[in-house]
Amino acid sequence: MCGIIAYAGYKECQPILLESLKRLEYRGYDSCGIAVRVESRKSRRGRINPTPTIEVYKDVGRVGDLAKSFPQIQGLKGGGRGTPVDGQDARPTRLQTPGSGLGIAHTRWATHGEVSKSNAHPHLDCSGRIAVVHNGVIENFQSLRDELTREGHHFSSETDTEVIPHLIERYYDGDLEGAVTRALADVRGTYAIIVLAAGHKKLVAARRESPLIIGIGDRENFVASDVAAVLDYTDRVIYLEDGDIALVSEGSISITSRESGRGTPDSRLQTLDYRPVQREEQVIPWSLEEAQKGGYEHFMLKEIHEQPKAIENTLSGHISLIERTVSLNVRKEAGLEDIVLVACGTSSHAALIAEYVIGKLCHLPVRVKVASEFNCHEMALEKTWVWGISQSGETLDTLRAIKKARTLGCATLAITNVPGSSITRIAEQVFYTRAGPEIGVAATKTFLTQLVALYLLAFSFASPDIMNAEGLIEGLRLLPSRVRQVLDGAEGIIPHARHLSRYDNAFFIGRGLNYPVAMEGALKLKEISYIHAEAYAAGELKHGPFALLGPSTPVVAMATRDDTYEPMLTSIKEIKARGSQVIALAEEGDEDIEQFVDAVIRIPPIDPLFSPFLNSVALQLLAYYAAKERGCPIDLPANLAKSVTVP
């Protein structure tokens, strides 16, 4: 979940590393740092030391704060006096040769050890001549640390990462790639690492179950955890695969990988046998402008307003109004008896909505499993189709579930927003959601486009009679304009958000298709406003949660005009009898609802089957404006990161 970036080229690397690192802060932002290779360095007495060294600058806080304390160099915003950490000597100094073209950088989401300067990356070996940045978790780090300590290695942090540079130092004999390979043979866990050494003009990068890409430029190359980091400089990338080790310099890229069958990414390396491989170069389908705020105060608000276009893009080429059909490049598996949807967080809420839609239209048994709790033993295996839903395509628990399903012979389908991501190489079939880049940590447009993809899949498996009778294609076609209507009414949601922002706890309730929408609404509110919010099926309140109702606990209710409407009114009456204020999401023209609730957020009329789309957008706006009223860091909520790549 951390962000990593490296540069090898003819330009000064420091400004590039820091600007690229800012684009990765959504992956982690509690501390950050950079390490650069310096060809020569002036001593305090003015003498030049021609031996290359590594200088490390790191601190707690955001990348912008680090830039302000960094030594003055051409092209870098900020400036001032930096405090490097170089080996065992951490005395203040100045970077004497800012023209270094080789460096690595990291922005952290803490896993092992508190948020502190010593735990920030990059980490060094004892000599201070090998630096490493890492995303992932080293499961056996404690035993390795104990072993290395007995050998005389000294550690300065609480992190699992620090064992990696010490292991490399243990094996280093002048061959950096060989030392990295041998060090990784000792490691159990997940990693995307980049290694910088004072005595080498090439970077070494390696991955296992954590994403890593190489950006290809003209006399410059990049290594990063995400394509967002390199969009300023190139749209050409190589996606590394599990088990790959890459050597990257200004003018060359070479990749080796373990021989097939001689060790697996899920276990400790069984061999040091690697062979050269070619990885396909791909073009990033997003522009730099799409990854910028475009005049909006926050990325989240921009991405909420991009949802009509994202829906149109995901629908494009898949629906025919003339023939009332859905056309997909996904084949329905023969002999299919049931479908299992695996996902995490927001994606799991999309899956729960799809469970209802697919079950209703296709008469197929559908189950939803939180990916971290996925258990293949409950399935019919060869008769089960497993769909993995991940906006980034790198969600570790979802990747592991799809791998497990394939191992046991299940057919698999990936639903993701990122071409070339890990899940696209694991699953047999892929459906892309075409949401474009999403920078805000709280998912918005990726959630709605996941719903579009899942509805399209459901409609493609439904009988023509159902499709014609229900007018479902027309409902899909209307979605972008109906979502725009919700967005046009955002001003009317702001007063309710301000009211909600005064509370520390809130309930969200729904029934049927909109119960998962209530879950998503509660998640959005707690993610970005820090208001404790819980979602319940409305009929479950009387089985315990009623104990928490009262004047200090507002309730947001999904009051859609479907077959759950009357039972929802009954639940609302019971809530009001306990003294809680109720904000209802209700259709325009529904005058009955006003006599039962304290406030109403109006939703344009639409077939109830599509109500999750409109209700979700209204709840996104409600959460956004509540968080803004409370002065919260909306795009970078505390303790969270965009892509969950750790167990």
- Residue 533 CB partners (closer than 8 Å, separation 6+): 505, 506, 507, 508, 521, 522, 523, 525, 526
Q: How far apart are alpha carbons 222 and 134 in whole angstroms?
A: 15
Q: How far apart are alpha carbons 82 and 323 in whole angstroms?
A: 66
Concerning whether 2 is annotated as a catalytic residue, the answer is yes
Q: Is the peptide bond before 551 cis (omega within 30 degrees of 0)?
A: no
Report which of 528, 441, 431, 26 is spatially closest to residue 228, judged by C-alpha positions. Answer: 26
Report which of 205, 200, 179, 35 is spatially closest to residue 120, judged by C-alpha positions. Answer: 35
Pair type for strands 532-537 and 505-510: parallel
Judge contact between 413 and 386, C-beta under 8 A: yes
Please count the residues of the chain.
647
Catalytic residue among 2, 362, 410, 632: 2
Concerning whether 376 is annotated as a catalytic residue, the answer is no
Judge contact between 21 and 154, C-beta under 8 A: no
Report which of 138, 163, 129 is spatially closest to residue 148, judged by C-alpha positions. Answer: 163
Report which of 349, 367, 359, 351 is spatially closest to residue 442, judged by C-alpha positions. Answer: 349
Catalytic residue among 22, 302, 524, 642: 642
Q: How far apart are alpha carbons 113 and 235 in whole angstroms?
A: 36
Judge contact between 333 and 504, C-beta under 8 A: no
Judge contact between 480 and 445, C-beta under 8 A: no
Which residues are part of the catalytic machinery? 2, 642
